Structure 1
Amino acid sequence: MENAEGAPQTGTVPLRFCPNSNDLLYPKEDRQNKRLVYFCRNCDFTAAASDSCVHRRTISHSASEITAVLHDVRTDPTLPHSKDVQCALCDTKEAVFFSQTTTEGMSLFFQCISCGHKWKDTGSVA
């Protein structure tokens, strides 16, 4: 994106094009001179980079943004399982567990494999 004067907006990385073929220039390390250069894949054109940044991603978060939690995490194959906890509703002894940031800090949560009941680990041993 460019501003009204045709210059790149602050925080953006401009695309560079070959003056010979109008093809996109690609970043490459010049190991001998220890610097970044841009090169054309269709001709011998190279240009020294004026900046070492080749890609920038800006992520903005609002203060009211909340991380979404899946309602049913029982089928998530990436979550670990425990066979040492007991569901208070159905007495099944297997649950998946995951941690999540709460107002109290990091908390450990369980979800029963059988009935889907969720509970927060209180740290007490029964």
Structure 2
Amino acid sequence: MATPQSTASQDNAPGKSKKLEQITFRFCSECSNMLYPKEDEDAHKLQFTCRTCQYTEDAQTTCVFRNILNTSAGETAGVTQDVGSDPTVSDDLSPVVCLCCGIVIPCLLPRSNKACPACSHEEAVFFQSQQRSAETGMKLFYVCCECGHIFT
């Protein structure tokens, strides 16, 4: 999940991690409506302006929004533990037939009788995923249909 934060740090001491201060909404001192970011095109400065009464003040910092991602993409690249029970990849579906050519379109992940190391269940869906760079090969991942454990 992302959180809006400013780039202004509260503690720049060496050896300490920077703590980012939260971005806050600004309000008009004349009519109490919210101020919106706007560029002063002549001075090329960031300002906050009221859309109701045109009150304007200079911004204290140039940061309006900072998007910090709290998770990084791992080697399974967003595959969730629920993939084994996803009805769109289940073999319980009736086959989908192309209306143009009549060919059956498979709508399921392949399944294997590989035992799960977490719960010993004997059914898992599997998929291949490219590793971090193009020089490395594809890696096979299994997702247990019982407990959702992802293993190789």
| TM-score computed with the length of structure 1 as normaliser | 0.46
Structure ranking higher in strand proportion: 2
Which structure has the highest helix share of the two?
2
